[in-house]
Amino acid sequence: MKIGIDAKYYYSGGPSLVNVVRNIVNNLIECNAEDEIVFFLSKKDFHLKEDFEIKIDKKKNMSFVFIPVKLNFLTNLLLFPFYFYKKGFDVILFQNYIPMWGRGRTMYVNYVYDFLFLDYPQYFRTIDKFVYQLMIYSVKKSQHVITISQSERRRIIRHTNIQPNRISSVYPGLDANFFERPNDNKEKIKKKYNLPEKFILYVGRLNIRKNVKTLLKSFSIINSNISLVIVGKEDNGGFNFEEEVYKLGIKDKVYKIGHVPDDDLAEIVSGSTIFVFPSYAEGFGLPPLEAMKSGIPTIVSNNTSLPEVCGEAALNFDANDYYDLATKIDFLLSDIEVYQSYKIKGKNKAEEFSWQKSVADISTILKSTKD
C-alpha cells in the first residue's frame, strides 16, 4: 500500500500541531515496515533534510518530499495535488484541509483537531473563523475523518451531518518526557527559574478561551499558603494579565515565566504541587494529562472534552465559578490522603494514552479507508 503523510508541521508550527505530527511520523518510521510511505515536509525546513534522512535511516519503503508552504490551508486545497497527482497513492493523511482537485483513486483521510470555532466563535479572530469554514468543506469531501476526542467527533457530526461511520476518534498519546522526577531534579529547575517551593501550575496560552482570569480570581481567595506559576505566552484575544494580578492583590505570589523549552517544561510540571487547567473549551486537553503522568494532582474545568479525557482521575469545577475552583484547590491541599489518591489516579489514567496505540489506530484507518 502506498501512503502519503502530510508532515508539514514536523519541524515548525504551533506546539500542538508539531507534537501531533512529529509523534505520528516518528511512530510510523519506527513501526511500519510493510507499506510504502512518503512524508510531505515543508520546504522552509529544507535545511533539515539530513536530519530527516537520519530519521528514516535509509528505509527502502520510506521517502520524503519538500513542498512550498505559505499558508497551510492554501497549500492543501490547491497546491498539494501537484506533488502526488498520478503518483499512485492509495491514501493520504492530511492536516485539517484536503485538496479540491486531483484525487483520482486516492483516498483522502483528514486529521481534524476540532470544530470549536463553530460553537465558541467568541474565542476566535474573524480571519481565523473565515479560514476554518473551509474545514467544513474538507470534512464533507473526505473519505474518512480522524479527530481527537469523542466530544469533537459529536461536534463535527452535528455541524456537517456526515455519516458517523466516516469519522473516528483517536486520542493523542503523551510525550515520554513527562514522568515523576526525583526531588533533586525538581530543585534544579526551581532554582533555574527562581520558582517557589510549592506552587499551583497553569500551562497554556494567556487568552480568554483558556480562562486564566478565573484561575487568578480563585487563587486570590484560597486559604492555602501557596504560590501560582503561569507558563505560556500571551495570545490574541488575551487580557491585561499584570493589571488583573495587581487588582486582585496577588502580585507577590504569582510568577509568570512565559514560554519555556520542552525539556524545562516537563521538569517544571513535575516540580509543581497542583496543576489547574480552567479552559472554557478544548478539543482534547493535553497539559492536564501531562501533569497527571508526572504525578501531579490535577483540576480541570467541566467543559467540552476535559471530563471525557481526564475522567474521575481529576477534580472538575464549574468554569464560570471561581469559588468552586478555590474550594477544589483547598480540598486537595488540606487533605494528604485525598492529595495522594488523586496523584495515583492521575498516573494510572495517563497510562491509557500512548502514541504507539494512537498511530496503530491511525494506520488501521488509513488501510481500511474506502469510498
- Which pLDDT tens digit goes with each residue over 229-258? 999 988 766 778 999 999 999 999 999 999
- Is the per-residue pLDDT at 337 higher than 90? yes
Summarize the confidence of residues 322-346 as an average pLDDT: 97
Q: What is the pLDDT of residues 294-311, one digit of tens each?
A: 999 999 999 999 999 999
Where does the pLDDT of residue 84 fall: very low under 50, low under 70, confident under 90, or very high at 90 and above? very high
User: Between 371 and 226, whose confidence is greater?
Assistant: 226
Mean pLDDT of 334-344: 97
Matching residue, cell 501533569: 291
Locate the domains of the chain by residue range.
2-173+354-368, 183-350
> Which has more confidence, 154 or 182?
154
User: For 12-59, what is each residue's pLDDT tens digit?
Assistant: 988 889 999 999 999 999 988 889 999 999 999 999 999 999 999 888
Distance of CA 21 to the CA centre of its chain: 11
What's the pLDDT band for 287 if we cut at 50, 70, 90?
Answer: very high
| Confidence class for position 343, pLDDT limits 50, 70, 90 | very high
pLDDT for residue 237: 62
Of 259, 268, 274, nearest to 189 by C-alpha is 268
- Identify the CA nearest to 98 among candidates 115, 116, 80, 114: 80
What does the pLDDT look like over 38-50, one tens digit per residue? 999 999 999 999 9
Percent of the chain with pLDDT over 90: 89
Q: What is the pLDDT of residue 160?
A: 97
Distance CA 119, CA 153 (A): 13
Residues listed for the chain: 371
Say which residues have a Cβ less than 8 Å from residue 184's Cβ, sequence separation at least 6. Answer: none
Q: Which three cell numbers stand for residue 311?
A: 475522567
Q: Is the pLDDT of residue 202 over 80?
A: yes
pLDDT for 371 beyond 80: no
Question: CATH: 3.30.830.10, 3.40.50.2000, 3.40.50.150, 3.30.70.870. Which one for 2-173+354-368?
Answer: 3.40.50.2000
Q: 288 is written with which cell numbers?
A: 492536564
pLDDT-derived band at 319 (thresholds 50, 70, 90) equals very high
Confidence category of residue 96, pLDDT binned at 50, 70, 90: very high
- Mean local confidence (pLDDT), 58-84: 94
Do 2-173+354-368 and 183-350 have matching folds?
A: yes
Mean pLDDT of 66-85: 94
* Average pLDDT value for residue range 177-198: 91
Radius of gyration of the chain (CA): 22
Which carries the bigger pLDDT value, residue 16 or residue 162? 162
Spatial CB neighbours of 23, under 8 Å, sequence gap ≥ 6 = 172, 173, 175, 355, 358, 359
- Please state, rounded to an integer, the average pLDDT across all residues of the chain: 95
Predicted pLDDT of residue 186: 86
Using DSSP's 3-state secondary structure scheme, residue 125 falls into coil
pLDDT value for 235: 77
183-350 belongs to which homologous superfamily?
Answer: Glycogen Phosphorylase B; (3.40.50.2000)
Give residue 204's pLDDT: 94
